A and B are shown apart, each in its own frame.
Chain A
Amino acid sequence: MSWRVIARREFTDAVQSRVLWGLVAFVAVMIAMTASVPVLIPAMDASALLGLGAASEFAAMLVPIVALVAAYLAIAGERESGSLRLLLGLEPNRRTVVVGKFAGRSAVAVVGLGLGFLLASAVTWLVYGTLPLLAYLAVLVLTVGLGVVFVGIAVGISAATATRSRAMTLGIASYLGLALLWDLIPQGAHLAVVGGPPSGTVPAWFLLLEGLSPSGAYSALVTRALGATGAAIPSTAARLGGDVPLYLASWVFVAILLVWTLVPLLAGYWAFERADLN
């Protein structure tokens, strides 16, 4: 069970280096602030649910960068410094190392995002006086899940790269591509196919394209979770103006998140397994 020893080491290191507490504080402050924004806008009929919606939209941008920063050096950093030589001297199985690193950094992301989100929920509860518990729990689980997805991507990048700087370059590129710029793809496709920006109802493939990125899949699932708990958010059917096809079922987006976790991890492991470490 060497992977557990490695995972535990990763987690303790995050505690010792105070990275974990920084993460909790950062996430708590950012989420609490965005969740409270609707109160400040007089025109809005502010509610805790609306605040949650705003917070989740922000989280779709925030969580990826937090998780990437927390994990992109997991292996590449040790490889550049040389401590990986010591580690592999004790545990030569590189798959075990990748699994241990992923598990440890995921635990950091889960605890950091989870605690941060809980603290933010407490603030939100104070601001609005109520808290739709079920909706908050659903978004909490999804947000933590998105964190794990990006830890998978970051550890995959870290396993595939030999230096810190290359890991950072790929990390930034994946953040730009997957979290910030992805929306250009469905928007561009809509412009090309329909001949204008989306307005009113949209074609089903547009929603699928939107949801193919990790942050997109996260947002799709959050929308459904909030809708299911009675928020005044347009449902998928309403946005389509008709039936929801099978490929827009919730489990599809769950599967997309799984794919985004495992494929980078496996690709990174594949490269790491073949690498000369000197």
Chain B
Amino acid sequence: MPAIQTDGLTKRYGHDVYAIDDLSLTVDEGEVFGFLGPNGAGKSTAIDVLLDYIRPTAGSATVLGYDAQRDAEAIHQRVGILPDGYSLYDRLSGRDHVQFAIDLKDASDDPDAILDRVGLDSTAAARPAGAYSKGMSQRLALGMALVGDPDLLILDEPSSGLDPDGIRDIREITREHAADGGTVFFSSHVLSQVEAVCDRVGILKNGRLVAVDTIDGLREAVGTGSTISLTVDAPPTGLTAADFDGVTDLVVGDDVVRATCTESTAKVAVIDAVRAAGSAVLDVETHEMSLEDLFSEYTHADEPTLARAEVDG
């Protein structure tokens, strides 16, 4: 049974604004899944549907085998939630927040153990949450998510507002939870925060899933790619990627030629071909692609596409 499964999930506002569009995704039990995408890509909307905060326009979602809309109570009993855009109760102390969560979930946790786990000491826990920094609030909300020993943790941008220590603690808690056989589903707009802990990632853009792969799979796609950029005095004509072995993409602009090469010998071949076409090469830059580049390629794919269209025209 998958921990999370969505099928054609769509949330439309008004007539034509799609927050998420035909999202089909499966997260297996015991998996740490990173849900990536730039701000506004629809990550929180998708999570809000899973948590029954909002209702989908079309499609369906199940969490731990339960329907997200009909069986919300069964889901929430077994899921720990760190929502996006929450706020704490100003007058309630940190410890009382955790106790409130324990009472509501009818759990038997020790509030001090939970607070200790998320790194809030007893002095901080005794203070009213209205005086908490963003990082402390985030730690407390994470603690509340851990109440009741949930099978699945759904964390929406858990690292936001946290310092490096806090981000490391989140990773640690995620790893512990996964080591106990639990599932973690978390969203982020920063790839580096998820690559260290995730088994798989899904990349969301404009409400659509543009890639789902393991970190290793992404790395493989990245590892074989590097880019060569040539600054030229005039654009060469008649060059396409198909002319070369080991070039997957070739873009010609007004004063630049950019090629994505899977073999290093291809770079020299590109330089030779550009010079043979009559252009003077003024500068050469090569760039090894990182995971981050791949991520931004997925999420900002508009620009190269435009450039290519201009060249074709």
> Given the interface contacts A9-B100, A278-B44, does A86 sit within 8 Å of B141 by beta carbon?
yes
> Given the interface contacts A88-B53, A276-B55, does A82 sit within 8 Å of B87 by beta carbon?
yes
Closest B-chain residue to A88, C-beta based? B53
Q: Are A93 and B86 in contact, with the CB atoms below 8 A? A: no
Contact bitstring B180-216, A, C-beta under 8 A = 1, else 0: 0000000000000000000000000000000000000
Which residue of A17, A90, A278 is within 8 Å of B76 (Cβ)? A90
Which residue of A16, A81, A91 is within 8 Å of B104 (Cβ)? A91
Q: Are B104 and A278 in contact, with the CB atoms below 8 A? A: no
Closest A-chain residue to B51, C-beta based? A89
Most buried by A among B85, B100, B104, B141: B104
Which residue of A9, A16, A81, A89 is within 8 Å of B81 (Cβ)? A89
Which residue of B44, B72, B87, B145 is within 8 Å of A83 (Cβ)? B87
Residues of B within 8 A of A88 (CB): 51-53
Shortest CB–CB separation between residue B12 and chain A, in angstroms? 11
Q: Are B55 and A92 in contact, with the CB atoms below 8 A? A: no
Asked if B101 is an interface residue, CB under 8 A from chain A, the answer is: yes
Q: Which residues of chain A in 141-198 are interfacial with respect to chain B, using CB atoms and an 8 Å cutoff? A: none
Asked if A263 is an interface residue, CB under 8 A from chain B, the answer is: no
Contact bitstring B90-101, A, C-beta under 8 A = 1, else 0: 011000000011
Residues of B within 8 A of A81 (CB): 87
Q: Which residues of chain B in 133-162 are interfacial with respect to chain A, using CB atoms and an 8 Å cutoff? A: 141, 144-145, 147
Asked if A235 is an interface residue, CB under 8 A from chain B, the answer is: no
Closest A-chain residue to B79, C-beta based? A89
> Given the interface contacts A86-B141, A89-B81, A89-B83, does A278 sit within 8 Å of B53 by beta carbon?
yes
Asked if A85 is an interface residue, CB under 8 A from chain B, the answer is: yes
Asked if A5 is an interface residue, CB under 8 A from chain B, the answer is: yes
Q: Are A278 and B45 in contact, with the CB atoms below 8 A? A: yes
Residues of B within 8 A of A277 (CB): 48, 53-54
A274 to B45 CA separation, bound complex (whole angstroms):
16
A6 to B100 CA separation, bound complex (whole angstroms):
9
Asked if A229 is an interface residue, CB under 8 A from chain B, the answer is: no
Shortest CB–CB separation between residue B211 and chain A, in angstroms? 25
Shortest CB–CB separation between residue A231 and chain B, in angstroms? 44
A113 to B86 CA separation, bound complex (whole angstroms):
33
> Given the interface contacts A89-B51, A90-B144, A91-B104, does A83 sit within 8 Å of B88 by beta carbon?
yes
Q: Are B48 and A278 in contact, with the CB atoms below 8 A? A: yes
Q: Is chain A's interface secondary structure helix, strand, loop, or mixed overall?
A: helix
Q: Are B86 and A86 in contact, with the CB atoms below 8 A? A: yes
Residues of A within 8 A of B75 (CB): 92
Most buried by B among A82, A92, A274: A92
Asked if A250 is an interface residue, CB under 8 A from chain B, the answer is: no
Residues of B within 8 A of A86 (CB): 83, 86-88, 141, 144
A15 to B26 CA separation, bound complex (whole angstroms):
47
Asked if B168 is an interface residue, CB under 8 A from chain A, the answer is: no
Q: Are A91 and B76 in contact, with the CB atoms below 8 A? A: yes
Q: Are A89 and B91 in contact, with the CB atoms below 8 A? A: no
A82 to B85 CA separation, bound complex (whole angstroms):
6
A2 to B44 CA separation, bound complex (whole angstroms):
26
Q: Are A13 and B91 in contact, with the CB atoms below 8 A? A: yes
Which residue of B53, B76, B101 is within 8 Å of A85 (Cβ)? B53
Residues of A within 8 A of B100 (CB): 5, 9, 90
Asked if B163 is an interface residue, CB under 8 A from chain A, the answer is: no
Closest A-chain residue to B88, C-beta based? A83
A163 to B48 CA separation, bound complex (whole angstroms):
19
Closest A-chain residue to B72, C-beta based? A92
Asked if B220 is an interface residue, CB under 8 A from chain A, the answer is: no
Most buried by A among B44, B45, B84, B101: B101
Residues of A within 8 A of B48 (CB): 276-278
Asked if B73 is an interface residue, CB under 8 A from chain A, the answer is: yes
Residues of A within 8 A of B103 (CB): 5
Asked if B275 is an interface residue, CB under 8 A from chain A, the answer is: no
Residues of A within 8 A of B51 (CB): 88-89, 92
Asked if B105 is an interface residue, CB under 8 A from chain A, the answer is: yes
Shortest CB–CB separation between residue B88 and chain A, in angstroms? 6
Residues of B within 8 A of A82 (CB): 85-87
Residues of A within 8 A of B72 (CB): 92-93
Residues of B within 8 A of A93 (CB): 72-73
Query: Can you spell out 5 A-B residue pairs with CB atoms less than 8 angstroms apart?
Result: A13-B92, A87-B104, A92-B75, A277-B48, A277-B53
B residues engaging A (CB < 8 A)? 44-45, 48, 51-55, 72-73, 75-76, 81, 83-89, 91-92, 100-101, 103-106, 141, 144-145, 147
A residues engaging B (CB < 8 A)? 2, 5-6, 9, 13, 16-17, 81-83, 85-93, 274, 276-278
A-B pairs with the 7 shortest C-beta distances?
A: A89-B81, A276-B54, A82-B87, A92-B72, A90-B104, A85-B86, A85-B83
- For the complex with contacts A85-B53, A93-B73, 9 further pairs of A-B residues with Cβ separation under 8 Å are A5-B103, A85-B85, A86-B86, A87-B104, A89-B51, A89-B145, A90-B76, A92-B52, A276-B54
